[in-house]
Structure 1
Amino acid sequence: MNREELLQKYNLKGNPNKGLIMATFGFFIGFAAVSLYGPVATNFNKIMHMPGLMLGFLVAAPNLTGSLLRIPFGAWVDKAGGKKPFLTLFLLSIIGMAGLTTILYLYYPDNLTLKMYPLIFLFGLLSGSGIATFSVGVPQTSYWFPQNKQGFALGAYGGLGNTAPGIFGILLPFALVGLGLPGSYATWFVFLVVGTAIYAAFAQDAYYFQLLKKGVNQDEAKKVARELGQELFPSGTVVQALKISAKVPGTWGLVALYFTSFGGFLALTTWFPTYWIQYYGIGVRQAGLLMALGFSILASFIRVYGGHISDKFGGEKTAIASFMIVLVGSVILILSNSFGISLLGEIVMGVGMGVANAAVFKLVPKYVPNAPGGASGWVGGLGAFGGFVVPPILGVFVDSFGKTGYSKGFMVYTVLAVFSIVISMVLMNKYGKNAKIA
């Protein structure tokens, strides 16, 4: 029975390219929440008068749920496919955006005080749930594609989806002029609802999960899906997926690398607008453009090519080279008092982080082929936790050193880059060669 006959017999929908497109679209919709507070942090701060530490926690709030929820939701894909976890995370985000928009319409600007910080922080947490779609889309994409195309597919997924914070970082400050802060968030809320409806209408899980939902037993579902080109299959329940991946030593090395590359990316996407505004006195809209074009969007597009580089040279070698680039960028930013040189440092870090993000997730299905969803949950969740941890630390540097703390804070990235280079070398020497049989 040929491919078309199998698809018709079991009434299966979608194909790898459509699966990639919808997973990327869904990730784009949810991931925009990274820029929820960062580009407009100064607008909140002028009214609420927050110290550096509280400001750091606020801009990082979406990244807390956006990172920790990746663990169970990424593993859930191995049981239910990606569509249901995606829609659940979208629903949580919609609740958060509705609450935040309501607060702003009722209290902004005259009655918005520091006493309302916990509520604004809470709605930021809920809105950030969409960020966790990343670890859902990774296994969803992995199940659609064969092993030899994983690097390109995941690089395209992560790279194009990653453009959302940069694009929203550009749009949000401009929207403030015409719509005001409440109107800007109301528009974002509508965008989220419409995007969720589009994903619900057109997204499809990989063939294996479609067959299971139609009542086909697991053995037959695997047989049919294999004939249709699917190579990766889940090994058990959500808990089993997490346990299996947790027992692979390389999983924890990848967590450490992703803490620097993607957690660091999230942190700087929220922090760079504040850095440019406070350290160089640049306007809000210009700061948003610098963050987006010089870092966020740049890193996202380079991530697409980073997948190709990882396919060609191997994920471990690519990771080592990329973290060396991050190291150079962090040193430039620490030492620079010049706008042009600091911009160069931002660009260098964007290049390094973009390639590193692709390299790390090239290694996920390689190291843990039996439970890529579980591994994606650990790596994506705990790794992305850096997006919540790092901004408050950067805020402490500002509280401790004043204005110069904005540049000295990049010492954090120097340390993380060196640590990640060492970890990458350990993975290459001890685990890389045996990863497929782990």
Structure 2
Amino acid sequence: MSTATTQRRTGRWIDDWRPEDETFWAEGGQKVARRNLWVSIFAEHLGFSVWLIWSVSSAFLLASGFTFTPQELFMLVALPNLVGSLLRVPYTLAVPVFGGRNWTIVSALLLLIPSGLFIVAVQNPATPYWVFCLIAATAGFGGGNFASSMANINFFYPAAKKGAALGLNAAGGNLGVALIQFGLPVVVGGAGAFGLVKASDGGLHLERAGWVYVVLSLVAAGLAFRYMDNLSTAEAKPREQLSVLKERHTWIMAVLYIGTFGSFIGYSAAMPLLIKLNFFVPTPAPLGTGINFAYYAFLGALVGSLTRPFGGWLADKYGGARVTVHVFGAMVVGTLGVLWTLTQLTPNPSADPAIALDNRAWFPAFLAFFLFVFAATGIGNGSTYRMIPTIWRTKALESCGGSEAGRTAAIAQSTKSASAAIGIIGAVGAIGGFLIPMIFGAPWVEDPVAAVRSAFAVFAGFYVVCGFVTWAVYLRRSVLVARFPSLAPAGV
């Protein structure tokens, strides 16, 4: 019997890959899968950091000499999420065509474009706003990395371990959001770390963040070149992969993923500006009054990232659908809590220090409810992504005829379909990262403070709908008996 390390072609291609074979897995498959997973986590982590670099740097642009309105800043935050969501489809299709290792190298090198352009733009206060919009859009390359990374890792792991593996891979990427929001203020000299790091006497140097990710992107490409592998068993034509668009479960899960991941990335992108809008005024100079977003903005992304593997683990143990229903219930409660705290605030459209001081008393409640929502989104991200391969595997096994050969072929095909579905669902879900900042403060929104309050009420209603859909389609016993006779409710 061949092992995972013997059947190779040139260019680090593996021709023999059977993760469902316990002997194969124990004799080398697990080691190879883990090596690819850790490099994938690092590369995806950088992608998320570059993707969300504008979420925190935009809040520093005014102090750097730029004269943008809150609505224009929310647009800069939203554009990378729109482009990143659209790129997730071609990035997913690229893995079976070019190989997971090869595409990881390419996607890491593509991060040099938004990082390099960022360095140029932020050093010149005369840079036009439309140029900033174009540069912010290129940060969407980092958002595409998630889809290709998840699709690739899905091929490496057996069904029983996909939840934990995909959860770790996604969490490593999601932590890139927290890292950029925590580290950028410190690196550029804008203070941070709960105020333990003070602002630089030499002023802000936003370009430093761009240089950091230029270097790290080259490191990621080098690691992928040296340590990752391509799987020939994952090869598929784009037309074959896009067949999942005809499957209604693709679109149902995409809606659910808007609720979980769309909320995570959208709230992560908007949180720095939300804190600044409601709890901070820029006077008295130079430090301002109220809650400094640079101290706390990273916490939401951090909490959501850390709970994502927990969501995958819970889904492996109790069933993804069951966990997801409870997640949406928790998100409703947390969102209503955030909305309640916002209704207690005094609107802060001016530079009145007294208003920021009054609102500051409500900040602990606002932060606690918001972090609760972030924790729920992380668990939901893990549980929904665990549902995807389970749904496709179950459908394939129901139609394989029961023979061992048919079962093996069905599992292989379901893995390819699930990986394609992961990319499509991830693309649709990431659109939430564009919609949330736009709802909060699009250029046509006259009153961002009022828009934020109305938006949270709408979000709570959407989470109710998502919870009901999850229950009706994947948990209700009559539906399961009709569509998946051999599948217990907890199995999805």
Same fold (TM over 0.5): yes
Match in the other structure for 1:214: none
User: Which amino acid in 1 is paired with 2:90?
Assistant: P
CA contact (8 A) 1:316 1:427 kept: no
The 1:435/1:362 distance shift into structure 2, 3 A limit, reads farther
1:389 aligns with 2:435: yes
- 1:131 aligned to 143, 147, 151, which one? 143
What per-residue deviation string (whole Å, max 9, x for no partner) do you get for residues 38-95 of structure 1? 1122222454433443322211121122111111211222333322332333333211
Give, as a single letter, the amino acid of the residue that structure 2 aligns with 1:185: G
1:99 maps to which residue? 117
Q: How does 1:75-94 map to 2 (within 5 A)?
A: 75-94=93-112
Query: Matches of 2:3 and 2:207 in 1, distance apart?
Result: 51
Q: CA RMSD in A?
A: 2.7
Q: Deviations over 1:215-239 (max 9, x none)?
A: xxxxxxx5xxxxxxxxxx56x4112
Name the CA distance, whole Å, in 2 between partners of 1:168 and 1:2.
Answer: 43
* Equivalent position to 2:389, from 349, 361, 365: 365
Q: Which residue of 2 aligns with 1:348?
A: 372
Q: Which residue is equivalent to 1:278?
A: 277
Supply the AA of the counterpart residue of 1:174: V
TM-score, normalised with respect to structure 1:
0.84
Give the % identical residues: 21
The answer to whether structure 1 residue 194 and structure 2 residue 219 are counterparts is: yes
C-alpha spacing 1:401/1:434, structure 2 compared with 1 (3 Å): same
Mark the runs of 5 or more structure 1 residues left unpaired by the alignment.
210-221, 223-232
Partner of 1:434: 484
User: What is the 5 A alignment of 1:15-34?
Assistant: 15-34=32-51
Aligned to 1:242: 242
Are 1:288 and 2:294 counterparts? yes
1:419 aligns with 2:465: yes
Q: Hey, what's the Cα distance between the residues in 2 that align with 1:251 and 1:435?
A: 20
Amino acid at match of 2:215: V
Instruction: Check conservation: 2:304, 2:374, Cα contact below 8 A.
Output: yes
Distance change (3 Å), C-alpha of 1:4 and 1:315: closer
Corresponding residue to 2:92 among 65, 68, 74: 74
State which drifts further: 283-292 or 85-94.
Answer: 283-292
Following superposition, the deviation at residue 100 of structure 1 comes to 2.1
State how far apart, in whole Å, the 2-side matches of 1:436 and 1:263 are.
32
Compared CA separation, residues 435 and 401, structure 1 to 2 (3 A): farther
Contact kept in structure 2, 1:33 and 1:130, CA below 8 Å:
yes
Which of the pair has the greater relative contact order for Cα pairs under 8 Å at 6+ separation? 1
SS at match of 1:381: helix
CA distance, structure 2, for counterparts of residue 120 and residue 202 of structure 1: 36
- Partner residue in 1 for 2:350: none
Q: Letter of the 1:57 partner, please give it.
A: M
Once the two structures are superposed, the pairs formed by residues 174-189 of structure 1 within 5 Å of their partners are 174-177=186-189, 178=200, 180-189=205-214
Aligned partner of residue 111 in structure 2, secondary structure = helix
Structure 2 SS opposite 1:410: helix
- Please report how far the alpha carbon of residue 332 of structure 1 lies from its aligned counterpart in structure 2 after TM superposition: 0.8
1:241-275 residue CA offsets vs partner (Å, 9 max, x unmatched): 111x1122111111101112111111111111111
Question: Over residues 348-372 of structure 1, what are the superposed CA-to-partner deviations in whole Å (9 max), with x where a residue is unaligned?
Answer: 1011100110111111212232412
- The range that moved more, 307-316 or 176-185, is 176-185
Per the alignment, do residues 80 and 185 of structure 1 end up closer, same or farther by CA in structure 2, a change over 3 Å counting? closer
Counterparts of 1:330-341 in structure 2, within 5 Å, are 330-336=335-341, 337=344, 338-341=362-365
Whole-angstrom distance in 2 between the partners of 1:121 and 1:4: 46
Render the CA deviation track for 1:111-138: whole Å, top value 9, x for unaligned: 24xxx12211111221220221111111
Match of 2:313 in 1: 308
Cα pair 2:39 2:223 within 8 Å, conserved? no
- Within the alignment, does 1:117 sit opposite 2:129 as a pair? yes
For residues 431 and 45 of structure 1, the distance between their equivalents in structure 2, rounded to whole angstroms, comes to 55
Partner of 1:371: helix, strand, or coil?
helix
Contact 1:334/1:409, CA 8 A, preserved across alignment: no
Q: 1:413 to 1:9 in 2, by over 3 A?
A: closer
Q: Secondary structure at the match of 1:19?
A: helix
Whole-Å Cα distance in 1 between the matches of residues 279 and 5 of structure 2?
63
1:347 aligned partner, one-letter code? L
Q: 1:166 to 1:289 in 2, by over 3 A?
A: farther
Query: In 2, Cα distance between the equivalents of 1:255 and 1:267?
Result: 16
Cα gap change, 1:170 to 1:4, in 2 (>3 Å): closer
More helix by share: 1
- Kept after mapping to 1: 8 A contact 2:44/2:172: no
Q: Look up the SS of the partner of 1:50 in the other structure.
A: coil
Q: What SS does the corresponding residue of 1:162 show, helix, strand or coil?
A: helix
After superposition, the Cα gap between the structure-2 partners of 1:79 and 1:431, relative to the gap in structure 1 and judged at 3 Å, is: farther
Amino acid at match of 1:261: T
CA 1:86–1:146 in 2, change beyond 3 Å: closer, same or farther?
same
